[in-house]
Structure 1
């Protein structure tokens, strides 16, 4: 699927899973509706000079995330410090066995604009095969093409209603940082959700979200 901006991408994905999802019970016994290998290409997450994805008009009605919560989430994703959690994305990306993967990939991009090696991972086999709480976001890949920075994220498990909107804003914030450090412009953001799902307890809220926002939106 394709979308111009983050808001529309989120709404399209929620509606798609509501319509096309299959009922699946996960390892914890939670019932979800799921679509597998769902991809969204967000053409312009930056939205232009005057566009602010965090402005109230760009946060869908009925969304569980507001500007303050998204801002905090985005800051945590950039922060290498873990304050007592099993894991944080900031730690896995920026302090993975003492390695700041974001700094490393920025260096690769600056050394070769066409590199295919600017990739950061969050999965730690020595830890994550034994833990109950493990990263959902597995990989972020950065590529510069046509003087623009394009990013692809891969999720093994993706809560489309409850997490997608914040996830994408966090990555958009990271994209802006990497683009600044590589003297490029923010390009497209592609998300690949291997398990794109909505929890049963969120179904009514997800349906309400679509009802409140669908009018006037060109979906496909």
Structure 2
């Protein structure tokens, strides 16, 4: 049977730490047959949901105790550099896609939908990708951002088909949180919660020792 893991966290750094701590116990170890780092091993949740109650709490990037001497997986200033990739359609020559090429027009539409038609709708869903992306060597990992305004706040529900826990999780969620803050301000509501889900949240084998060091766990 699939092992469904559910985590409730205070903020994004807390969610990151809890996921790393739990994947050591609940992760499934396997060799990658196709995809990034083919031939190496992943430790991966069967399926996980992460409820982050206060994702806007600063700092957005992980908290690494200085004594551990581990580099932060998200460098200072990276979220601000990454945000245009999430929100605009600008694309470099060597890129197959950016999330922004799918999201840019939908962000504007969702804002107008809530402002013009009210908050009582289930149609404000933003899709990433199209049927042709399955033929890419590296299809989009983020596949959708669902939205809801309830109790006067804008909430995001996001889904990743595959998700690197060490680097991708905190960087993606930090930038998605900045997007949510922008949209809530434009709509005129408060910033809300994030519920993230994935059947592919994982750690690559080259990062396992760092994960053990950060969590002070020794077993797999």
Using structure 1 for the length normalisation, give the TM-score: 0.85
Alignment partner of 1:204 out of 199, 209, 220:
209
User: Secondary structure of 1:143's match?
Assistant: strand
Query: Any idea what SS the aligned residue of 1:129 has?
Result: helix
- Asked whether the equivalents of residues 54 and 67 of structure 1 are also in contact (C-alpha less than 8 Å), the reply is no
Cα distance in structure 1, aligned partners of 2:24 and 2:100: 31
- The question of whether the paired residues in 1 share the 8 Å contact of 2:126 and 2:145 is answered with yes
1:117 aligns with 2:127: no
Q: How does 1:35-114 map to 2 (within 5 A)?
A: 35-47=45-57, 52-54=58-60, 59-61=63-65, 62=70, 63-84=72-93, 85-94=95-104, 100-110=105-115, 111-114=117-120
CA offsets per residue over residues 34-87 of structure 1, 9 Å max, x none? Answer: 11220100001112xxxx3248xx633433112222221223212221122111
Report Cα offsets for 1:145-198 as digits up to 9, x if no partner.
Answer: 011001010001111112101011010000001101110111101100111111
Larger CA deviation: 14-23 vs 169-178: 14-23
Q: In the alignment, is the contact (CA less than 8 A) between 2:27 and 2:44 conserved in 1?
A: yes
Residue by residue over 1:63-119, the C-alpha shift from the partner in whole angstroms, topping out at 9 and shown as x without a partner, is 31122222212232122211221111112211xxxxx01111111122221211111
Is the aligned partner of 1:162 residue 2:162? no
Q: Any gaps of 5 or more consecutive residues in structure 1? A: 95-99, 213-220
Describe the shift of the 1:54–1:195 C-alpha distance in structure 2 as closer, same or farther (beyond 3 A): closer
- 1:131-153 Cα distance to aligned partner (Å, 9 max, x none): 11111010001110011001010
Moved over 3 A (4+): none
Q: Which runs of 5+ in 2 are unaligned?
A: 1-6
- State which of 177, 180, 195 in structure 1 corresponds to 2:185: 180
Give RMSD over aligned pairs: 1.7
CA distance in 1, matches of 2:166, 2:212: 10
User: In terms of mean alpha carbon deviation, does 201-210 or 162-171 score higher?
Assistant: 201-210
- Correspondence for 1:217: none
Distance 2:167 2:198 in 1: 14
CA distance in 2, matches of 1:173, 1:4: 17
**1:12 aligned onto 2:18:** yes
Other structure's SS at 1:12 match: helix
| Range with greater deviation from structure 2 (77-86 or 61-70) | 61-70
Q: How many residues align?
A: 200
